[in-house]
Amino acid sequence: MPDYSYCVSLSISHPTVETNEISEKLNVMPSVSRNVGEPRLSYSGKLLGGVNKESHWRLDLHDEKRLHSTQVLIEDFIAKQNERFQSSKEYFEELYRTGGYIEYFIGWFSEGSVNMSVTFEPDLLKSTAELYISIGLDAYPE
C-alpha cells in the first residue's frame, strides 16, 4: 500500500465571473475567494498593490488538514469528487468556454521517503476532463 498524505482543493479562476455566482451555482461557500477588480490581498489580508486580474474561488474538499493513503487513495478521492460535481458539469463547461480555469489542486506529501507513485487510470482522467477540471499535483518529499 502506498504511504503518503495529501490535501485537495477545487480551484476556479475566471476573468469576469464574480465569486458569489460560483458559490450560488455550486451551492457551497468557498474556503477563499477574491473578485476580479478588487485590491490584491495576501491570504493573511495584507495589501499587495494593484487589483485582481481575475476572480479566484477555492474550496477545500475535506475537513482534515491532510488525508492519508490508508484512509483513501488520491485516485479514489478524485473519483468521489467527480461524482459530487457531476451536477455542475454544464456550469463548469460554461466557465471553461468563457475563459475560466478549473483545477483539483493536490498537495502530495511523502511519508519517510522521496519515492512516491500514483496512477490516474484512463476512466478517472476521462471523467475529470468531462467536467472541464484539470489536475494540478504538487509533490512535497518530507
pLDDT at 84: 98
Q: How many CB atoms lie within 10 A of CB 58?
A: 18
Residues 49-77: what's their mean pLDDT?
94
Share of the chain above pLDDT 90, in %: 80
Q: What does the domain layout of the chain look like in residue ranges?
A: 4-140
Q: How many CB atoms lie within 10 A of CB 56?
A: 19
What's the chain's average pLDDT? 93
* pLDDT at position 121 over 80: yes
Q: Which of 31-35, 41-45, 59-63 has the lowest mean pLDDT?
A: 41-45
Q: How far apart, in whole angstroms, are the C-alpha atoms of residue 79 and residue 73?
A: 10
* pLDDT at position 1 over 70: no
Q: How far apart, in whole angstroms, are the C-alpha atoms of residue 83 and residue 124?
A: 11
pLDDT at 113: 66
* pLDDT at position 2 over 70: no
